[in-house]
């Protein structure tokens, strides 16, 4: 039972994190928009780098990207809480029923890991050369979240006996 409770609580922890991220992005839109704006504009990358042709200079493009990230976070948050609810309801059921109840949670955690890996570490850091910026470099935070969510995912996929 303790392993099941640990899985549920860690999933709730990730869901809470996403709830706060969504709250912050919606109530202080401009702070994180500035991050997206500077990464996509590539205006703080190394001077004269050969990748500047990749930059997206139009604010409308930045808004679309930012709203895409926010929607991704909202969907992930909703699925995380739905997955937590399913686990909570299956807490005292058989091992097979509890394991089957993890599907939404596993999907949500995968969606989260994809956001950090694809949107931030691949597209942001490598395509838009975010790693070159001393000011707007979110690689460490993205990697940290990828690892945290990855650990919860590994625990979640473990079969219950």
Q: For the chain, 161 residues long, give each residue's pLDDT as a single digit of tens.
A: 899 999 999 999 999 999 999 999 999 999 999 999 999 999 999 999 999 999 999 999 999 999 999 999 999 999 999 999 999 999 999 999 999 999 999 999 999 999 999 999 999 999 999 999 999 999 999 999 999 999 999 999 998 87
What is the C-alpha to C-alpha distance for residues 130 and 22, in angstroms, rounded to an integer? 22
What is the C-alpha to C-alpha distance for residues 98 and 29, in angstroms, rounded to an integer? 38
Structure tokens at 2: 């303790």
What is the C-alpha to C-alpha distance for residues 84 and 27, in angstroms, rounded to an integer? 25
What is the C-alpha to C-alpha distance for residues 29 and 34, in angstroms, rounded to an integer? 9
Answer whether 0.85 is exceeded by the pTM: yes
């Amino acid at each position: 039972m303790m392993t099941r409770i640990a899985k549920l609580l860690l999933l709730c922890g990730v869901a809470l994190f996403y709830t706060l991220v969504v709250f912050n992005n919606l109530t202080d839109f401009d702070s994180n928009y500035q991050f997206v704006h500077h990464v996509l504009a590539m205006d703080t990358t190394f001077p004269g780098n050969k990748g500047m042709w990749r930059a997206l200079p139009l604010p409308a493009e930045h808004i679309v990207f930012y709203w895409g990230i926010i929607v991704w976070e909202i969907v992930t948050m909703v699925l995380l809480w739905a997955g937590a609810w399913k686990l909570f309801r299956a807490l005292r059921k058989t091992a097979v029923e509890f394991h089957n109840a993890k599907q939404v949670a596993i999907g949500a955690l995968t969606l989260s890991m994809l956001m950090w890996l694809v949107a931030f570490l691949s597209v942001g850091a490598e395509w838009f050369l975010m790693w070159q910026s001393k000011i707007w470099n979110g690689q460490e935070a993205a990697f940290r979240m990828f690892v945290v969510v990855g650990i919860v995912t590994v625990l979640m996929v473990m079969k219950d006996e």
